[in-house]
Chains A and B, each alone.
Chain A
């Protein structure tokens, strides 16, 4: 019954050793695959990319060096998606009896209590330890979310610990030095990561495909409307783990060069759909302040390392964090298929709850952000928790004022309707009016009535409406400061 059909020997390099993938069921997560191989350091804590106990390191194409050690949630990725790649687990970091510097600091400072989350913390921390741009000079020491060694605490935002209260983990992170000259992981950054491998694995009637080219992908999509497209698998992985979804055909698109373009042109910025949120954050380097505000609030570092901008738009979720920001930026999407490319304004893209204009044979190729950018922007996210939470309400602002009068107002909303949407009534209430507290108060009352918020476990409908009303006041107040 089980007849593996592979074009070549699929394998992953784990802690320096090649391990074959043939015969592994298509929906097996990287985590389960590692654990079945006896590498039980990585743990399942939640199976939805929230706790980070499964974190491992992957050698990925870097921006500041040819390779960067990137921490990802092993519970969300199908093992098949790592074919040809190189990963390191907590077991592979130290040498025989010698602890890795990250492990050493965690151990001696009381960074572990029950120890279950610890291997995941160690991997996330090691990724930040090896971040090429991490330098002591990068940040002042007065910012409690950055260490004197340049360590960005947000790198651990996707790891949960139920025991320590985090203080000793933070102290361990902030005590880290720089890698030594003979550090093999540091040296590995200097040569390129393994190229993406074309993969075809078929086991028990399910198939995983990583086509070699965009053309091949579009061909598959034209033939198989049931294909499940995955990039970082941060959404699809949850469906596999918690909802038992078992697609007959999974097509991975995240390493296609055509989907990884990035260009800052004179009239627009073009962002490849398969770039991860982490990559976009660094490529933009603050050039789009609205997005720069959004990135740290978008899930966790572990998720941003996997999640792509195309994926966040492809799911069509009403509570994704990029749509409100991109709506405010008046972004468009490039949809591609065998029939060619078409450009769709994002404001027209969402058609209903998890419904979009994208047809099954189409792929989001790129996001276009028109230039110049509006001068007054902000991203507001309302959630229970500051790091790594899902929005109750999200608002993106892009407002232009000339001679004291609002000439252009674009406000994107998430979490208040079946789709992300533009706050058109509020925009109208602002446009052409003087940018004053009086105008803002009146428009805020309009904004409180935007959308059709509902009660759920994240927030009440009345709180959501109140937050819409407060948001514009806050935007105004924070600009005035």
Chain B
């Protein structure tokens, strides 16, 4: 067992604690970025002028009429930028564009004494546009050959030979939608400048260091002149990994130019129309199976709809390509990936980061092919699972592959799946207008940033003379419970009660050069960095304690606020006594911690290597009931067994699994991004740009019975205290819902019906699927 993963006796990690801010949440006292405005004097409010066209050249921009609106103080345009006019890291996202690249693109920003005055000021700005041809759908971009970034190719084995030899070959096409993050807190920033020109920005960002960098390059100052702080976010889900930078830069620019604090808060419509979403994909594939239902070859082309700029599309695509196998061993694989450039918001990170899109392709094709092969879909999936000797198409051994089967059999047993299948068959036989189905799908998800350099983290731990502990780390809190886990890690590592440890807000002047809190890696990376800092302090305190106890430093133990030797009668010191003694002996009581994930390597060009520290596994079973008159459905029961290693914080982890699952189900069944694809005047406008038209899962989509279990004896040797990352993988457990809907739709038709199901599988999509199935003659299977 590695020292990183080894857990001491009486550890605070592993306890099912509520969120560290739970009491603040429920009383409304927890502060979010925009809650700080009322606590700040003389704030100016920012409001954008948005393009009404999907693609247009800006011929002229007249800002003067805005200044005639009472309360308007300043209009920010490209001419005001002292540094680089760019909001991204790829230098393809002008902060103030000369060409509107999507419907809703912000052209300039108005600052005013009130939000209302800024709104009216923005309405007064006169922009003359020349409309340009636009590409709104991924199909249009493919037809036009309009791509961006670097296309990728992943290959292993001999696909053509395997397909030629395969007794069963199918081909298909599948286009599926993206997803709006719809974090409840929209993007917001509050910037101010102090007497020395130091810029301080409160930002709702998952990536404070990058927000800092972008602000610095927009303002043309060094990074040390900019501090970014994130108290907490009202949800992020990847949507605040890159998108907040430009908004923070606008606020910072406004504050620099006016000398007053500037608040930028998007309302929901602005947030939805201006910020990137989960990438929708187009896919084409050929797949071969042998006579036993084993996958022998997969040839696929994935086209991500990247929107107008690159943003994170390249790594999203890479992860999609690396997850097209999901949990299945496919000996011969060829995947081509490319990024379409369309006149839409710049699609970005979203929980799963391409993984869900890659996996959806294989889960969809398995669901479609199973009836054609004459297999029950569950059986087809199970017999294709990775086994421990296998490697992925990019050459990484699938360590702990046996956990797929372990999770699967536990769900089968705990969910009484066999019995329920019998019940469902009986129900369906007696209900012509209502059908039920249960489906099971696995998840195998690689943990670490694909880009090796991002797999590092820092922390700063202070022990004060009174024994109290203050921790800082580079991760941000967006509701995922990272701070709760970090408090537990620090308390465990120092051997003090949880109440001794306090956590300070994430800010760039405490821990620099941090990676985004993303890729599910927040606890792995920051936890290890905190543990490293704590261990430095503890080692120094061991020396102090050993002197006072008269024992060997190696025999000193820190347990729940006491310090003693390994033998019971050797005397005990309190934590506070040891800390005080250390101070008097001039021992340093604080430390900076650092961690980098060992053993990773990745050749992005060859698409080969071992980019992940480990895989997270899980299995879900979902049972649905579908109404044959309308296509409406209910989610009757969900059973999940998921691998979080040895959980750092079980209440938090179960919350992540449940929440991720429901969010995934929302993507796959309900949430409907509809862009105006017509040639009409609103071409490129997002029609579902509000909560009234873009529907998130509500209580009615929650599974009626929802059983979540953590896989037991799941120690992960390569991660802090034996745990595994949990943020993203459970989202993909929701494929079970989509596959259950497919099977229920098929149940309206003759046995062996293969159902194509649109994504999202809205009631309308399910209705068309079941209506097609229902109209089929109960004839023989179409095979081959």
List A residues at the B interface (Cβ < 8 Å).
25, 35-48, 50-51, 53, 89-91, 93-94, 99, 102-104, 106-119, 122, 144, 153, 156-157, 160-168, 170, 238, 241-242, 244, 382-390, 392, 456-460, 463, 466-467, 470-471, 473-474, 477
Q: Which residues of B contact A50 (CB under 8 A)?
A: 690-692
| B585 contacts chain A at the CB level, 8 A cutoff | no
| B688 contacts chain A at the CB level, 8 A cutoff | yes
Q: How far is the CA of A186 from the CA of B658 in the complex (A)?
A: 34
* Given contact pairs A40-B31, A103-B26, A110 touches B18 in the complex (Cβ within 8 A): yes
Binds A, one of B372-380, B441-449, B475-483, B611-619: B475-483
| B38 contacts chain A at the CB level, 8 A cutoff | yes
Q: Which residue of B lies closest to A119 (CB)?
A: B28
Q: CB within 8 A of A114: which of B233, B696, B699?
A: B233
Q: CB within 8 A of A385: which of B21, B23, B670?
A: B670
- CB atoms of A459 and B26 under 8 A apart: no
Q: Which residues of A contact B479 (CB under 8 A)?
A: 112-116, 163
Q: Which residue of B lies closest to A155 (CB)?
A: B699
Question: A40-B34, A157-B699, A165-B662 given. 20 additional CB < 8 A pairs?
Answer: A41-B27, A41-B29, A42-B28, A43-B184, A45-B691, A91-B29, A103-B26, A103-B27, A104-B26, A113-B479, A113-B659, A116-B183, A162-B183, A163-B479, A165-B659, A166-B697, A166-B702, A170-B702, A241-B267, A244-B119
| B237 contacts chain A at the CB level, 8 A cutoff | yes
Over the window 229-258 of chain B, the binary record of Cβ atoms lying under 8 Å from chain A Cβ atoms (1 yes, 0 no) is: 000111111000000000000000000000
Q: CB within 8 A of A474: which of B181, B185, B629?
A: B629
Q: Which residue of A lies closest to B674 (CB)?
A: A457
Q: Max chain A CB contacts within 10 Å: which of B31, B699, B704, B706?
A: B699
Q: Which residues of A contact B26 (CB under 8 A)?
A: 90, 99, 102-104, 106-107, 111-112, 115, 118-119, 122
- CB atoms of A166 and B690 under 8 A apart: no
Q: How far is the CA of A132 from the CA of B561 in the complex (A)?
A: 48
Would you list 15 pairs from A and B whose C-beta atoms are within 8 A, ordered by A residue? Answer: A40-B34, A50-B692, A89-B28, A114-B235, A114-B478, A122-B28, A157-B699, A162-B183, A164-B658, A164-B662, A165-B660, A382-B632, A390-B693, A463-B767, A473-B629
Q: CB within 8 A of B232: which of A107, A109, A114?
A: A114
Q: Which residue of B lies closest to A171 (CB)?
A: B706
Q: Which residues of B contact A466 (CB under 8 A)?
A: 767, 771
Q: Which residue of A lies closest to B631 (CB)?
A: A463
Q: Which residues of A contact B183 (CB under 8 A)?
A: 114, 116, 162
- CB atoms of B29 and A116 under 8 A apart: no
- CB atoms of A242 and B700 under 8 A apart: no
Looking at chain B's contact residues, is the secondary structure mostly helix, strand, loop, or mixed? Answer: loop
- CB atoms of B232 and A384 under 8 A apart: no
Q: Which residues of B contact A116 (CB under 8 A)?
A: 32, 183-185, 234-235, 479
Q: How far is the CA of A94 from the CA of B27 in the complex (A)?
A: 7
Q: How far is the CA of A457 from the CA of B478 in the complex (A)?
A: 31
- CB atoms of B184 and A387 under 8 A apart: no
Q: How far is the CA of A449 from the CA of B701 in the complex (A)?
A: 32
Q: CB within 8 A of A162: which of B235, B674, B693, B764?
A: B235
List B residues at the A interface (Cβ < 8 Å).
18-19, 21-32, 34-35, 38-39, 116, 119, 123, 181-186, 232-237, 267-269, 433, 478-481, 627, 629-630, 632, 634, 651-652, 654-655, 658-663, 670, 672, 674, 687-688, 690-693, 695-706, 762-764, 767-768, 771
- CB atoms of B629 and A471 under 8 A apart: yes
- CB atoms of B687 and A45 under 8 A apart: no
B243–chain A nearest beta-carbon distance, Å = 16
B68–chain A nearest beta-carbon distance, Å = 15
- CB atoms of B630 and A470 under 8 A apart: yes
B695–chain A nearest beta-carbon distance, Å = 5
* Given contact pairs A43-B32, A107-B23, A166-B702, A382 touches B233 in the complex (Cβ within 8 A): no
- CB atoms of A382 and B763 under 8 A apart: yes
Q: Which residue of B lies closest to A166 (CB)?
A: B702
Q: How far is the CA of A94 from the CA of B28 in the complex (A)?
A: 11
Q: CB within 8 A of B655: which of A41, A164, A238, A458?
A: A164
Q: How far is the CA of A36 from the CA of B37 in the complex (A)?
A: 9
Q: Which residues of A contact B629 (CB under 8 A)?
A: 470-471, 473-474, 477
Q: CB within 8 A of A157: which of B691, B700, B764?
A: B700
Q: Which residues of B contact A111 (CB under 8 A)?
A: 22, 26
Q: Which residues of A contact B688 (CB under 8 A)?
A: 457
- CB atoms of A90 and B692 under 8 A apart: no
- CB atoms of B670 and A165 under 8 A apart: no
Q: Which residues of B contact A40 (CB under 8 A)?
A: 28, 31-32, 34-35, 38
Q: Which residues of A contact B38 (CB under 8 A)?
A: 35-38, 40
B194–chain A nearest beta-carbon distance, Å = 24
- CB atoms of A387 and B691 under 8 A apart: no
* Given contact pairs A47-B268, A387-B698, A459-B764, A166 touches B35 in the complex (Cβ within 8 A): no
